[in-house]
A = this chain, B = another copy of it.
Amino acid sequence: MEYEQLKLENQLCFPFYAVSRLIIRAYQEDLDALGLTYPQYLVLMVLWENDNVSVNTIAEKLILNTNTITPLLKRMEVSGLIIRHQSAEDQRKVIVSLTAKGTEFKVLAAEIPYKLIKKLKIEPQEEQIQEALILKKKLYELINLLENIEKQ
């Protein structure tokens, strides 16, 4: 029995899985220099855009469960990037805020995306930038499709 649909090279899921891990590996060197992990870097990106948000807000933006986010935030609190405090209005909510260190890291992190492009040894032309934007749009269409499965 051949089952073409079971061959690794015919899968769409596997290259997504591989690209995701390889991108994180590529970032690792620059993140290590800041003592960050990739998901911690994502949390910081959320906070740099909107500080003082609830645990749930971060979880929703990163499409992660609280059982992933909670210990992640605890480690980030230990390393002095953020602080967590209970909301006054709604005692169930835990508000996450950047520390001075967490805020300062934004300047250092700003170089990271450019460093990855340099590592890839590509010099994006207008055409390639447009292509990347189209790809990003398709990825978000896929995310929407995949997120709506669970709600059934």
Q: Which residues of A are interface residues toward B (Cβ below 8 A)?
A: 1, 3, 5-8, 11-27, 38, 42, 45-46, 48-49, 61-63, 106-107, 109-110, 113-114, 116, 119-120, 122, 132, 135-136, 138-140, 142-143, 145-147, 149-150
Top 7 closest pairs, chain A to chain B, by CB: A15-B139, A22-B146, A20-B20, A5-B113, A16-B20, A13-B23, A17-B20
Partner of A26, one of B6, B132, B149: B149
B residues less than 8 Å from A42 (CB atoms):
8, 14, 17
Overall SS of chain A's interface: helix
Beta-carbon contact of B143 and A15 below 8 Å:
yes
B residues less than 8 Å from A106 (CB atoms):
1, 3, 6
B residues less than 8 Å from A61 (CB atoms):
8
With A42-B8, A106-B1 known as contacts, the answer to whether A16 contacts B14 (CB < 8 A) is no
- With most chain B CB atoms within 10 A of its CB, the pick from A21, A114, A147 is A21
- With most chain B CB atoms within 10 A of its CB, the pick from A11, A19, A113 is A19
Instruction: Give min CB distance, A36 to chain B, whole Å.
Output: 13
B residues less than 8 Å from A120 (CB atoms):
145-146, 149
Tell me the bound Cα distance from A102 to B44 in angstroms: 43
Tell me the bound Cα distance from A140 to B106 in angstroms: 32
B residues less than 8 Å from A15 (CB atoms):
136, 139-140, 142-143
B residues less than 8 Å from A26 (CB atoms):
146, 149
